Structure 1
Amino acid sequence: MSGSNTAEQRGKVQVGDLAPDFTLPDQTGRQVSLHDFIGKSVVVLYFYPKDNTPGCTAEAVCFRDSYVVFKQAGAEVIGISSDSTESHEQFANQHRLPFILLSDRGAAVRKRYGVPTTFGLLPGRVTYIIDKRGVVRHIFSSQFNPEKHVEEALNIVRTLQDEEGAGASQAPAGQA
């Protein structure tokens, strides 16, 4: 092993890290991988504790209400919890959620990203903004302010969109 300090070695993803890839089933049972989005869109990857709880429902509905704005800014929203695909399907249908919900049944992806628990038992609420190159550009963690995740994510996605627009016209070839 080289001396590089990767997320895998640290056990926690940080800003500037390449986002660890994963493949999980969505609410329809279809396998979805992070690498499917790399090079195509910014990814707003949000981990949440549980379907149909007050905070998680508020967060999901807030993402739903801003989903068109995220899409227009070139971003895809993906929610992850340990709930089953069936639970996700019911949750998405009940609240008309247009985005992907992934089932991380054994919490392997949650652990890989280093998402903390609250009070040692409640799965954490953390949002990662991953740019088109697969680099984590922003992390926001707030267990008790779910709507703030959407506001934070949208601000960063807009910043990335502005950078990309400026970069396409100003950056010399070969610079990232």
Structure 2
Amino acid sequence: MSLLNQSAPDFTLPASTGESITLSAYKGRKHVVLVFYPLDFSPVCSLQLPEYSGLQDDFADVDAVVLGISRDSVYTHKAWAAEYGIDVPLLADMKLEVAHAYGVAIDERGTTKRAVFLIDKDGVVRFEGVEEQTRNYNVRPEHVLEQIRGL
């Protein structure tokens, strides 16, 4: 199921920042990069999210915000973010409702696929990169930045 060139499913989720974040609140203001990842503290995720976080200024320069999403709780997100220096908001999709809306839930594992969605300021999905296996990490932040610059 591809969401490319369709309106992004809206959601509101609790975040590691202590607030709830609603996707549509960015409409008309920012591009949004949704980074779905399986689990906090797992090896590949512990490489991926710090990389995206480390390039926050580059994303800000192109009017974009990065949001990480997994099924872990806000409390786990906070501990992981503190240990790994992750500054992007990490959203808790504990029932995988958002993951289902984006077609990236793995029900038998209770996690999500590793996937990145770029949503433009109009709320339309302009790029989606879904890894074949959760251990893969091919959609790097630099590639997503190129996609944003091409909008």
- 2:34 matches 1:45: yes
- 2:145 matches 1:154: yes
- 2:106 matches 1:117: yes
Q: Quote the residue 1:103 is aligned against.
A: 92
For 1:154, give the aligned amino acid. L
> CA distance change for structure 1 residues 151 and 43 in 2, over 3 Å: closer, same or farther?
same
Specify which of 136, 145, 168 is matched with residue 136 of structure 2.
Answer: 145
Deviation at 1:82, TM superposition (A): 0.3
Compare 62-71 and 137-146 and name the one that shifted more: 137-146
Answer whether contact 1:41 1:131 (CA < 8 A) is retained.
Answer: yes
Q: Quote the residue 2:69 is aligned against.
A: 80
Query: Pairwise CA RMSD of aligned residues?
Result: 1.7
Q: Who wins on radius of gyration, i.e. which is larger?
A: 1
Answer whether contact 1:128 1:136 (CA < 8 A) is retained.
Answer: yes
Compare 146-155 and 101-110 and name the one that shifted more: 146-155
State the TM-score, normalizing by the size of structure 2.
0.90
State the TM-score, normalizing by the size of structure 1.
0.78
| Poorly superposed stretches of 4+, deviation over 3 Å | none
Answer whether contact 1:23 1:31 (CA < 8 A) is retained.
Answer: yes
- 2:19 matches 1:58: no
Deviation at 1:146, TM superposition (A): 2.2
Matched residue count: 148
- 1: distance between equivalents of 2:24 and 2:73? 22
Going by fraction, where is helix more abundant, 1 or 2?
A: 1
Deviation at 1:13, TM superposition (A): 4.6
